[in-house]
Amino acid sequence: MEDKKDGPAPVWLITGCSTGFGREIALAALHCGARVVVTARKLQAVADICERYPEQTLALALDVTDAGQIESVVAEALATFGCIDVLVNNAGYGYVGAIEEGEDAAVRALFDTNFFGALALTKAVLPHMRERRCGRIINNSSQAGLMANPGTGYYSASKYALEGLMEALSKELEPFNIFVSSVQPGAFRTDWSGRSMQRTGTPIADYDAHVGSRLDMIAEIDGTQPGDPVSAAQAFVMLANLEKPPLQLLLGAGVLATYREKLEGVVASLDEWEATTLSADFPSN
């Protein structure tokens, strides 16, 4: 992104600012002088942020599953600040349970927020960013978007979908000087595994030992996770200011170690089955 030191402060639009990552990202951007459209489903949840930075903030109610609210938020942001330099798709939550235990309505609601909500916000700001030939789109994804495990399959599916979409989008937008990055945090001390996590209401006893026990463990570590959301928020600010930010950025020692293990397994599997893979092509002349 171009240097804004001698010009107007950049404008950020951040979803899900009431708690956790969204709140800390908003505070970090504001501390650095940015103007921020602070959104949440309930405005009272972000009132203190706006009281602290009254000249730099615009607080707007936003449920990312509401198309009308998305349209009005983007319009009001542009009317107030004149531009949107950085979109942070942060709003999301976890729904957990074995795949067989999944409730159709709950799964669709999960995708409506985690995937379709981010997609709708992105499409809403893109015409403006394309016109200006400038912008940053930063998605708060998850380690679950890189690795799937028992009990969190539906959450992973919503994040894998977002990762695939944004990888393609990054290639479509780079010619316009619009860069897309997705952040994959590991276990961070937010409400994800506590207040905001939804668990299936139709458990099946056969899954208790190897799925239910893992979900119990995730719930039990709530409040003691190693990741610091305040430190993570600084990484989002860094990404917004890089000339060419990375497509993916992992956060936390745990996700780094486990993803390296996964990649080693992928390479080993490719090597093991290389002959079968190559045998599927027509013989070369």
Amino acid at 242: L
Q: How far apart are CA 60 and CA 77, in angstroms?
A: 9
Catalytic residue from among 53, 95, 154, 159: 159
Is 231 designated active site? no
Q: How far apart are CA 62 and CA 189, in angstroms?
A: 24
Catalytic residue from among 141, 156, 170, 193: 141
Q: How far apart are CA 193 and CA 210, in angstroms?
A: 18
Is 141 designated active site? yes
DSSP-based three-state secondary structure for 11: strand
What 8-state DSSP symbol labels residue 99?
A: G
The closest of 76, 91, 88 to 30, measured between CA atoms, is 88
Is 259 designated active site? no
Q: How far apart are CA 25 and CA 13, in angstroms?
A: 11
Structure tokens at 236: 């989002």
| Residue 256 CB contacts under 8 Å (≥ 6 apart), including other chains | 186, 250
Task: Please state, in angstroms and as integers, the Cα–Cα distance from residue 256 to each residue in 155, 240, 251, 268, following that order.
Answer: 19, 22, 7, 18
Catalytic residue from among 155, 156, 170, 182: 155
State the CB neighbour count (10 A cutoff) for residue 202: 11
Is 207 designated active site? no
Q: How far apart are CA 248 and CA 142, in angstroms?
A: 11
**Do 237 and 33 form a contact (C-beta atoms < 8 A)?**
no
Residues catalogued as catalytic: 18, 141, 155, 159
